[in-house]
Amino acid sequence: MSDQSFIDYVKIHCKSGNGGSGSAHFYRDKWTTTGGPDGGDGGRGGSIILRGNKQMWTLLPLKYRKHIKAGHGGDGGGSRSTGAFGEDIILDVPIGTIAKDVETGTVHFEISEDGQEEVLVKGGRGGLGNAHFKTSTNQSPRYSQTGTPGRETWKILELKVLADVGLVGFPNAGKSTLLSSITAAKPKIGAYPFTTLVPNLGIVSYRDHLSFVMADIPGIIENAHKGKGLGIRFLKHIERNAALLFLIPADTDNILKEYNILLNELGAFNPELLHKKRILAISKSDIIDDELKQLIEAELDLDIPYLFISSVSTAGLTELKDLIWKNLDMDK
């Protein structure tokens, strides 16, 4: 998925519809000239609603649709006739979309299921007609209630990527290279930090026509949970992955230390991430010999499975897919 088509953050201006006014009508026909109040209520204003759509992977459709406006409610009429409801605007969004308030950053809700609908901005309430105000002491109220106005506000929509396994590692760990080696995805690859600025998704073909989705999460750096680098924009995507694949190059000075830094960043951002299944892949293993592999293994004190791989020579990739599938299949 290209940088241009994957959009995980949009800010939209929303205006819900005004509620219609109630009617101050009195019943009249050719036989009745002094009928009682029969004014109907105004229709409610249209709301702006988000709906989960499992076929969508990006917020791209909303990138160029900055202003969202719902319809106004109609005024009430005679014979207790209620005004027409304002037209709701339903915006389809990917699973994993979070709605936030621009000013406070408060999270309103998360779309987590296909077909789930949540009201982002509620329309104005319709006003009551004069029929509601008739009392024993006021048989002919000549007033009604006006509708309440709709709300006008800015909202933020953020997408957390949903994948079976997410690649976690510092910039230049080889995540994009691995993704391009075992999927049909074509992420941007380069020998400089932050080559990947948005998550890339790829489908990994497995045995017996099975498959799983892998996400190349943009590189984490130390103190990313504090917003350093692209910080939070990176880490939020990891929350929507069933398992995590840590990728650390074989030529790293201290693999265990780098793994613990990555793990600490995840835990500081969201402690729940520490409960996800984890696998360590030591990448670029084609540049070291068997003796050095043994020395590395002797220094690793881990309670998670690990293996050596090379995306260039494809060494260990079949075993890696087997290990990932075994971890994913535990919940099935």
On whether both 3 and 78 belong to a single domain, the answer is: yes
154 and 246 both lie in a single domain:
no
> Which tokens in the block code for residue 35?
């009928």
The answer to whether residues 259 and 228 belong to one domain is yes
4 and 68 together in one domain: yes
Domains in the chain, number = 2
> Quick check: helix, strand or coil at residue 319?
helix
Q: Domain range spanning residue 271?
A: 163-329
Beta bridge partners of 306: 280
State the average pLDDT over residues 40-58.
94
Assess whether 148 and 185 both reside in one domain: no
Are 91 and 50 spatial neighbours (Cβ–Cβ below 8 Å)?
Answer: yes
Pick the last residue of a domain from 93, 128, 159: 159
| Sign of the dihedral defined by the CA atoms of residues 204, 254, 258, 172, in that order | negative
134 and 30 both lie in a single domain: yes
- In 3D space, the residue among 247, 240, 256, 252 whose CA is nearest the CA of residue 308 turns out to be 247
Residue 230 pLDDT: 45
244, 202: one domain: yes
For residue 185, pLDDT over 80 is answered with no
| Residue 184 clears pLDDT 90, i.e. is over it | no
Measured CA distances, 92 to 36, 95, 237, 240 (Å): 46, 10, 20, 19
For 249-306, the pLDDT digits (tens) are 998 989 999 999 888 888 888 888 888 899 999 999 999 888 998 998 888 888 899 9
| CATH assignment at residue 93 | 2.70.210.12
Task: Quote the pLDDT of residue 225.
Answer: 44
Same domain as 270, residue 133 = no
| Burial per residue of 130-163, b for 16 or more beta-carbon CB atoms within 10 angstroms, e otherwise | bbbbeeeeeeebeebbbbbbbbebebbbbbbbbb
Of the three residues 144, 159, 174, the one that is the final residue of a domain is 159
Same domain, 269 and 235: yes
d(CA 276, CA 239): 9
Domain boundary among 159, 176, 201: 159
Q: What is the CATH number of the domain that holds 172?
A: 3.40.50.300
